[in-house]
Structure 1
């Protein structure tokens, strides 16, 4: 095995990265403008160097645990290379580019970020919008409790997460807290909670509840907090932030709505006045610095300070 990251052939790393991102050796070959056999040979050589199987040859190809380690390195090498190319493109015209030669515009640096659905639906996109002409954002939606899984696998450069413990090779800093309030439509409240959610004869154990997806534990946390078995009430699963709130407005059930979405919504009312759940959010990112990552982090922290 190589003694240092510098010993890994950049072309072999690029083949690994492209195969994972495009899904097949054939697509990777098109992206890198080589033959599929060249992609296969480069990855086999990388596996020989490391003594590890790096990819599952499925469709799409999937990195193994060892492959995820080198995938993160491959993406870091790619990010640094793109940044260097863009910097050279900016300084070339001012310091000696060939006279009369057409200058290709700098390519957008691709920046993959894992983000929870509620941040994506509320405050994050306006934060990133001013940078969208210079950075190609690749947003991966996942529950805030699971976004660091993508970071640890090397699938993303940064993540908005509920986990304060930094992934190896990353930093972690608090962004703020998202506050959620249990809410329902007025008609649903009249039908189920005439005396309030906690004072309606144990009705919370039977009242339908709207849940984002099977990784969403917020409604479960609230029910356990008021002494109700979360396995009791029927659940509607609505895996879209906008449609989740819409389903509650339409009377499917009650649910925990982000204050950023439901705070001023007259079509929603609190089922348990004063009750709420706050979820701390952290920004984790590679310790490796690039200009695009640094500018994005600054924009995210500024928006979080205004919104959370």
Structure 2
């Protein structure tokens, strides 16, 4: 394949990020016509349709392949500029996907030093949030360069590193326990009433609550009364307000448990979720793997933060 035009690849990445030719043009400070021309030239060069012109725009499978390459090229270009002491005209974007519970607990402290340092040299970290079972798909599609995921297997062209285990426990407010569970946090929830008691659920991808109930009571595919709260911080607050039973990272509620704002139900039951860091191995023209310094730094920072916060 002939050398691909970096400017055209930047257009493809901007279209993937912004979902329209207008916003992509604004991001790149060029006209919409220029974006269209560069995309058509790239499609002509590879002989395949890369973008479906719909609302919103979406990438074809060949487009996703080239998007991965575009992300990798941008990351390596930013590293070269950094090593040469140059500041990028616009912040170099480094997107990674993380799950909401990790973001609410250990990820921000882990990355803080790196981000504070990066404010001086044009480092633009972008955190994309999804369920821990689905962040891996963002990596596969080329939308991100790294992800925190529950998937242990590395994609071809990626490397993977275990981070640790996040333990989930069931909690409820003292008022909820008194009102709904007869005042007994340890035994008030049982096989006879769990289906009638409200459980908090993050979103429709979240099955942590059914996993916990299945483990606690030996029930396959339990059906629960669900109340959806799609924010990790708001989810814990809803549990403290007595909206229902929450199944949350123990790390996130230790202080509330110590202060008595939440009570642990069935302390003997916990869901162990193993987390892994995945990142692309970025390649040079020879096809040999090379390392992108910033991406490696992000991975190392996350590994250090996870070692301090998560179980092993």
- Would you call these one fold, judging by a TM-score over 0.5? yes
Q: Which consecutive segments of 4 or more residues in structure 1 shift more than 6 A?
A: none
Deviation (angstroms), 1:197? 4.2
126-135 or 279-288, which deviates more: 126-135
Matched, 1:167 2:169: no
Structure 1 equivalent of residue 126 of structure 2: 138
Relative distance call for 1:262 and 1:31 in structure 2 (3 A) is closer
- Write out aligned runs for 1:271-282 (5 A): 271-282=265-276
How far, CA to CA, are the matches of 1:79 and 1:37 in structure 2?
26
Structure with higher Rg: it is 1
Q: Taking structure 2 as the reference length, what is the TM-score of the superposition?
A: 0.87
Matched, 1:215 2:210: no
Deviation (angstroms), 1:51? 2.3
Matched, 1:78 2:74: yes
How far, CA to CA, are the matches of 2:271 and 2:58 in structure 1?
37
Structure 1 equivalent of residue 54 of structure 2: 58
Deviation (angstroms), 1:117? 0.4
Q: Matched residue of 1:143: which SS? A: coil
Contact 1:184–1:253 (CA under 8 A) maintained in structure 2: yes
Relative distance call for 1:22 and 1:205 in structure 2 (3 A) is closer
Residues paired across the two proteins, number: 291
Question: Which of these residues, 236, 239, 253, is aligned with residue 244 of structure 2?
Answer: 253
Deviation (angstroms), 1:229? 5.9
Relative distance call for 1:201 and 1:175 in structure 2 (3 A) is closer
How far, CA to CA, are the matches of 1:153 and 1:199 in structure 2?
42
Q: Taking structure 1 as the reference length, what is the TM-score of the superposition?
A: 0.88
Contact 1:198–1:272 (CA under 8 A) maintained in structure 2: no
Matched, 1:244 2:235: yes
Q: Matched residue of 1:245: which SS? A: helix
Unaligned runs of 5+ in 2: 283-290
Deviation (angstroms), 1:270? 1.4
Matched, 1:176 2:164: yes
How far, CA to CA, are the matches of 1:15 and 1:200 in structure 2?
56
1:40-93 per-residue CA deviation (whole Å, 9 max, x = no partner) reads: 122112212222211011234221121111011011111111221222225xxx
Structure 2 equivalent of residue 300 of structure 1: 302
How far, CA to CA, are the matches of 1:161 and 1:183 in structure 2?
24
Unaligned runs of 5+ in 1: 91-103
